[in-house]
Amino acid sequence: MDISRLMAILGARWRAVVLAVAAVLALTLAVHAALPPRYTAAAAIVLDVRGLNPVLGVAEARAVTPRNVLGTQASMVRSDGVARQVVRRLRLVDDPAQRAAWQRATQGQGDAEAWIAARLLKSLDVRPAAEDSNVLDLQYAGPDAVQAAAIVNAFADAYLATALSLRSDPARVSAAFFTEQAQVLRAQLEVAQSRLSAYQRQNGIVGGDERLDVETASLNALSALQIEARAQRIETSSRSQQAQARAGSSPDVLVSPVVQQLLSSLAAAQARLQVARGSLGAKHPQLLAVADEVAQLQTELDREVARAAASLRMGASINEQREASLRGSLEAQRRRVLQLKTARDGMSMLERDAESARKAYEQVQLRLVQTRQESSSPSPEASILSVGVAPSESSRPGLVLLVPLGLALGTVLGVLVALLLDRRRPLIHYPADLRQWGVPLLAVVPHARLPGSRSRPVLGAPA
């Protein structure tokens, strides 16, 4: 269909077009007058998608992308739990209008809080502010401007409380677990320390390794003395045996001043006896006196040699006793040192047990402090960027927008109605239409005035 025929049809059906435009415009004005005003309040929440730990200040490992984080947080805002918190915060169950709407919709059946929460979610819109933004825009539309602002702010506050609860509740559970573990480990530490103290008292261990060092030094000193005593015993025993076998020629005997003096006196007396025998008779008194002197000196020499040999035997016996005493002391000291080492090994094991219990207790205490701080610290992942205020104007389209829109829709509808009427009962015919019907063309009226709608159609201008 060309434009000239369309204009001709519209000219012929202009009343239908006008009626359609008027009907649409009237319907638009009626709907605008019948619907109550609707006010939209908006709030904004900024999210930190870095995932910082509020206590340690380090980034936590995330398995999701920032865009998924925004989607998750938006779903959390629109969750039933957050909506129920809004209902409880604003006490909407006690609101007469909300309760009346619930009564009309459900005849008083079911949970009023759940129904009001679902109704609030239908009027709530949550979406990111921009494609590359970490800001969530919250918009709530309602008939009351003040209530709309209160509801959108309540949704923002309830979301922050829920986000904080999702972080702090697991931390509180962990804190309770670590508190219980800390009590158990503290009891184990006290038991380990008590065992260590009792073991130290039982074995006489005080302080560090000083006593073991002193006893080891004493053992080394006794070992050196025992070696020295053994050498002295061997030496004196050898001299004593030599003196017993050949006392007269023993150097230890001959070194005695008394023996040396007696040997000198004996040698002089024997020399005088030898001279007297050569010059005197066998019965001469002087010879007999010299012989008695020699015998007396020999007796004294033998007695002194025996005394010196006995002195050597006594020295050897003393050295044997000293060595035996040192050997006994050395064995006793060795047993004492071994006992101390054994006690020290047992104490070292108890010390390791106590140290392990102390480290485990300290680690649990550290985790307990961290989890307690996490359970009480504010959530850094979200904060309110802007609060909702009561809008001064309705968010519904005004007459300035509705009238042109109604005119446009009415015009389109009028054109469609005119075309539909012309298709069912055409008022204008063209030569091409006659050829299709097999009717001969007799004449063409270039300009014809169309009679009323009830008259028969006439021919119009050619296409």
Q: What is the pLDDT of residue 64?
A: 44
Strand 39-47: give its sheet, edge to edge. 124-128, 135-142, 39-47, 382-386
Q: How far, in Å, CA of 306 to CA of 325, rounded? A: 28
Lowest mean pLDDT among 119-123, 376-380, 443-447: 376-380
Q: Which two tokens stand for residue 395?
A: 């968010």
pLDDT band for position 154 (50/70/90)? very high
The yes-or-no verdict on residue 308 having pLDDT over 80 is no
Query: To 10 degrees, the CA torsion angle through 417, 422, 423, 425?
Result: 120
Q: What is the pLDDT of residue 457?
A: 44
pLDDT: is 438 or 185 the higher one?
185
Residues paired with 138 in a beta bridge: 43, 126
Share of the chain above pLDDT 90, in %: 4
Contacts of 379 (CB under 8 A, 6+ apart): 54, 160, 163, 164, 167
pLDDT: is 89 or 263 the higher one?
89
Backbone phi and psi for residue 59, each to the nearest 5 degrees, phi listed first:
-80, 135
pLDDT: is 249 or 306 the higher one?
306
How would you class 404 by CB atoms within 10 Å of its CB: exposed for 0-12, middle for 13-18, buried for 19 or more?
A: exposed
Average per-residue pLDDT for the chain: 75
Instruction: Give the chain's end-to-end CA distance (angstroms, integer).
Output: 10
pLDDT: is 317 or 241 the higher one?
317
Over residues 357-378, mean pLDDT? 80
pLDDT band for position 397 (50/70/90)? low
SS3 labels along the chain = CCHHHHHHHHHHCHHHHHHHHHHHHHHHHHHHHHCCCCEEEEEEEEECCCCECCCCCCECCCCCCHHHHHHHHHHHHCCHHHHHHHHHHHCHHHCHHHHHHHHHHHCCCCCHHHHHHHHHHHCEEEEECCCCCCEEEEEEEECCHHHHHHHHHHHHHHHHHHHHHHHHHHHHHHHHHHHHHHHHHHHHHHHHHHHHHHHHHHHCCCCCCHHHHHHHHHHHHHHHHHHHHHHHHHHHHHHHHHHHHCCCCCHHHHCCHHHHHHHHHHHHHHHHHHHHHHHCCCCCHHHHHHHHHHHHHHHHHHHHHHHHHHHHHHHHHHHHHHHHHHHHHHHHHHHHHHHHHHHHHHHHHHHHHHHHHHHHHHHHHHHHHHHHHHHHCCCCCEEEEECCCCCCCCCCCCHHHHHHHHHHHHHHHHHHHHHHHHHHCCCEECHHHHHHHCCCCCCCCCCCCCCCCCCCCEECCCC
Contacts of 387 (CB under 8 A, 6+ apart): 43, 153, 156
**Residue the block writes with tokens 């939209």:** 40
The yes-or-no verdict on residue 348 having pLDDT over 60 is yes
Q: What is the pLDDT of residue 336?
A: 78
- Beta-carbon-side half-sphere exposure of residue 297 (alpha carbons within 13 Å): 21
SS3 labels along 352-379 = HHHHHHHHHHHHHHHHHHHHHHHHHCCC
pLDDT band for position 335 (50/70/90)? confident
Q: How far, in Å, CA of 457 to CA of 430, rounded? A: 11
- Are 222 and 329 within 8 A, CB to CB? yes
Over residues 76-93, mean pLDDT? 90
pLDDT band for position 36 (50/70/90)? low
Residues paired with 383 in a beta bridge: 46
Highest mean pLDDT among 16-30, 279-293, 398-412: 16-30
Q: What is the pLDDT of residue 421?
A: 77
pLDDT: is 311 or 125 the higher one?
125
Q: What is the pLDDT of residue 86?
A: 92
Residues 53-82: pLDDT tens digits?
554 544 454 444 456 778 888 888 889 999
Q: What is the pLDDT of residue 84?
A: 92
pTM of the complete model:
0.50
Backbone phi and psi for residue 333, each to the nearest 5 degrees, phi listed first:
-65, -35
Lowest mean pLDDT among 252-256, 285-289, 379-383, 459-463: 459-463
Q: What is the pLDDT of residue 211?
A: 63
